[in-house]
Amino acid sequence: MLEKNLRAVNRDVKVLVQDSQALFQAAAALTGDKADELRARAMRMLDSALVAAQEAQAVAVDAGKEAADSAEQYVKENPWQALAAAAGVGFLIGVIMTKR
């Protein structure tokens, strides 16, 4: 679910940036109050994109911290199983590396 939300935010940010770029290009061809209005609107859109990106980053960081906490808790509760899993992964990496 988190990944789906992050993809949606990423897509929304891209759309906002593209729309802002289009507004800046349109404003470049205009002069006076209309150009100022378009530039201000584009800046607001870019600010919205920045806020959305920062919120997505915060969510991702929180999810990463929760995953790390869960892993730490599991290792504390099951040290031998964690050690065996780490040894197994190390063994598999070693086998893969020696076949190359």
Distance (Å, rounded) from C-alpha 54 to C-alpha 44?
15
8 A C-beta contact, residue 52 and residue 16:
yes
8 A C-beta contact, residue 16 and residue 49:
yes
Query: What range defines the domain where residue 17 resides?
Result: 2-99
Task: Dump pLDDT digits (tens) for 45-70.
Answer: 778 878 877 888 888 888 889 989 99
Record the pTM: 0.54
Distance (Å, rounded) from C-alpha 69 to C-alpha 14?
32
Helices (H), 1-100: 2-29, 33-77, 79-99
User: Based on the structure, what is the number of domains in the chain?
Assistant: 1
Q: Given this model, what pLDDT does residue 1 score?
A: 64
Low-confidence ranges of the chain (pLDDT < 70): 1-2, 6, 27, 100
